[in-house]
Homo-oligomer: A and B are copies of this chain.
Amino acid sequence: MIDVVLIGHGNVGSHLARVFTSTKGINLIQVFSTRKFDNVNPLESIRIVDLAELNKTAEVYIVAVPDDAISKVSNTLSLENKLVVHTSGSVSMNEISSKHRRGVFYPLQTFSKGTTVDFSEIPVCLEAENKQDLNLLKKLGHLVSKNVSEISSKERSEMHVAAVFVNNFVNELYHISEDIMKEHNLDFKLFKPLIKETANKVQSLSPASAQTGPAKRNDKKTIERHLGQLKNKDHKEIYELLTKSIINRRNND
């Protein structure tokens, strides 16, 4: 059994709490959260509201708080030489106070409260200062996920940039598409199956082989017509830049 304390119950923390309590081999002994749970929620019985009540015997302390609070919260913990990890994709391991043995337990997924995801499919990216802690984190990782990787702070930082493209920027393209549809009184809902299938395709194909459309065909007539149809200057600029990006690949083929 791995004894775990969870500090924070936000988007990431709440998903971790759920998977830790339902996984054999993990003993979630405390959850720090200032917000009360339902009385019927078993988490309520292990909830603490004051970090002074922290159990000092856990093997791993997981700090699942906003990026800019990690340093401060880890400093506050009255622990010494204990394994303290954060769950962030963009914060260096070294932002955790050096009074702890430091590590990272980063589930690479976009979480929203209320939506459930199959945790076993989520890549867990691990880092630790020493081999023994890394092994413990690997053991914990393998209990909850089929996909566990050792990733350094430097690598995690590069990954974070790349993740912004597939997550935030992709979502912005959905948003722009919704703007265009609304402009013409058309229902954005029509695109939902297309959006899903576009994401499904790259589960088995490379983005290069999944690509279709006017830019891929270098179909200048259609591209010109589309640019003429776009009224919004910013939409036009994004259309031009991404079209150029696709056409340039074609030339490199």
CB within 8 Å of B: which residues of A? 90, 108-110, 112, 115, 117, 121-123, 125, 147, 149, 151, 155, 157-178, 180-181, 183-184, 186-187, 190-208, 210-216, 222, 225-226, 229-230, 234, 237-239, 241-242, 244-246, 248-249
Q: From known contacts A159-B186, A171-B198, A246-B172, infer whether A180 and B165 are also in contact, taking CB-CB under 8 Å.
A: yes
A226 to chain B, nearest CB (A): 5
Chain B: CB-nearest residue to A181:
B162
Partner of A165, one of B176, B208, B216: B176
Main secondary structure, interface of A, reads: helix
Residues of B within 8 A of A187 (CB): 149
Question: Contact: B201 with A198, CB < 8 Å?
Answer: no
A88 to chain B, nearest CB (A): 11
A123 to chain B, nearest CB (A): 5
Question: Contact: A191 with B163, CB < 8 Å?
Answer: yes
Chain B: CB-nearest residue to A244:
B234
Q: Measured between alpha carbons, how far is A175 from B206 in the docked complex, in Å? A: 8
Question: Contact: B197 with A110, CB < 8 Å?
Answer: yes
Chain B: CB-nearest residue to A173:
B165
Count of this chain's copies in the oligomeric assembly: 2
A50 to chain B, nearest CB (A): 28
Question: Contact: B229 with A158, CB < 8 Å?
Answer: yes
Pick 11 A–B contacts, CB within 8 A, sort by A: A90-B222, A109-B194, A110-B197, A151-B186, A159-B190, A160-B226, A165-B176, A166-B177, A176-B245, A234-B245, A234-B248
Partner of A216, one of B157, B168, B225, B246: B168
Residues of B within 8 A of A162 (CB): 177, 180-181, 186, 191
A118 to chain B, nearest CB (A): 8
Residues of B within 8 A of A226 (CB): 160-161, 164
Question: Contact: A198 with B199, CB < 8 Å?
Answer: yes
Question: Contact: A173 with B169, CB < 8 Å?
Answer: yes
Residues of B within 8 A of A167 (CB): 194, 198, 212-213
Residues of B within 8 A of A203 (CB): 192, 195-196
Q: Measured between alpha carbons, how far is A216 from B191 in the docked complex, in Å? A: 23
A141 to chain B, nearest CB (A): 13
Q: Measured between alpha carbons, how far is A241 from B169 in the docked complex, in Å? A: 10
Residues of B within 8 A of A180 (CB): 158, 161-162, 165
